[in-house]
Amino acid sequence: AAKHQGKGRACEYAVEMTDYVRTRLQTEQSLYHALERQELQLYYQPVMHLNTGGLAGFEALLRWQHPVSGLLSPDQFIPVAEESGLIEPIGTWVLEQALQQIQIWQQMTQRPLFMAVNVSPRQFVHADFGAIVQQALQRYQLSGESLEIEITESILQDFQRSKRIVETLRTLGCTVAIDDFGTGYSSVSLLRHLPVSRIKIDRSFVSALPGRAQDTGLVSAMLGMAHSLGLEVTAEGIETAEQAAILAGMANMAAQGYYFERPQPAEFFTVGWLSRHSAA
């Protein structure tokens, strides 16, 4: 009986694996065509100056309008893009698209708005990343300060290379931010070794507010550390007026979250929103 059971389990496992592999392959194949079929789209979320309420810039967030499954979020396909190498052409497309958009919005508002772009480890350590960024900036006649590159501690897998790339980006005038700060084991060690300009305090810390003294303590410790190191801060995932007020009482920082605006397609901001939010 035991033998029979064991075999049954192995069989179930094999079926699950096959399903997994099939889905994974299907995703990879349709992702391969997604770019040329123009199924990828960027949404944008505004980044606000918390203390003045003014607009600082935007973060580009990738979506896939899948012909069958509907609108997919990056967590549903970025891992496949990373594993398959498709992240390289996709990432270049994201960069170009996002810079083209910020050029338009800078011209409309006559303000130095920045665009933050998420970059995966594989894309970041790609030999040409610095050149790709430089070309995209030139194409849209943007200065380096218009672009912020967001990385996570997973780039530590290839540290020496990452360090050189961060330095190249700095030379171009771009800023580099550590995304999801505080969630990994080594986010602090990144600060020690890389010339980054900003930390983005992960949503999990913000959503704990208002909470126990420890929760507030943790956020203010991160703010203190950023201040001592001369780093700028963005708080992610602000959903309530209370969270905005608590953070505003702690320090000057930039802020993103549903409380200000959800990620939206470009047209949403171009029609009306920008003129309401960019009066000096």
Interacting residue ranges for ligand C2E, rule: CB under 6 A: 45, 60-62, 73-75, 78, 94, 118-120, 150, 179-180, 203, 236-239, 256-258, 263
Distance of CA 132 to the CA centre of its chain: 18
Q: E strands within 81-239?
A: 114-118, 147-151, 175-181, 198-201, 232-235
Shortest spacing between CB 220 and ligand C2E, in angstroms: 20
Q: Which residue's CB is nearer to ligand C2E, number 79 or number 144?
A: 79
Cα–Cα distances (Å) from 72 to 202, 213, 230, in that order, read 22, 37, 37
In the complex, least distance from residue 53 CB atom to ligand C2E, rounded to whole angstroms: 17
How far, in Å, CA of 86 to CA of 28, rounded?
8
47 vs 137, beta carbon nearer ligand C2E = 47
Residue 9: CB minimum distance to ligand C2E, A: 34
* C-beta pairs of 227-231 under 8 Å, 24+ apart in sequence: 227/251, 229/191, 231/191, 231/196, 231/197, 231/198, 231/199
Judged by DSSP in three states, 250 sits in helix
CB of 17 to Mg ion, least distance (A): 28
* Residue whose CB is less far from Mg ion, 232 or 236: 236
List residues near Mg ion by CB under 5 A.
118, 150, 179-180, 236
> 256 contacts which partner out of ligand C2E, Mg ion, none, CB within 5 to 8 A by kind?
ligand C2E
C-beta of 21 vs 37, nearer to ligand C2E? 37
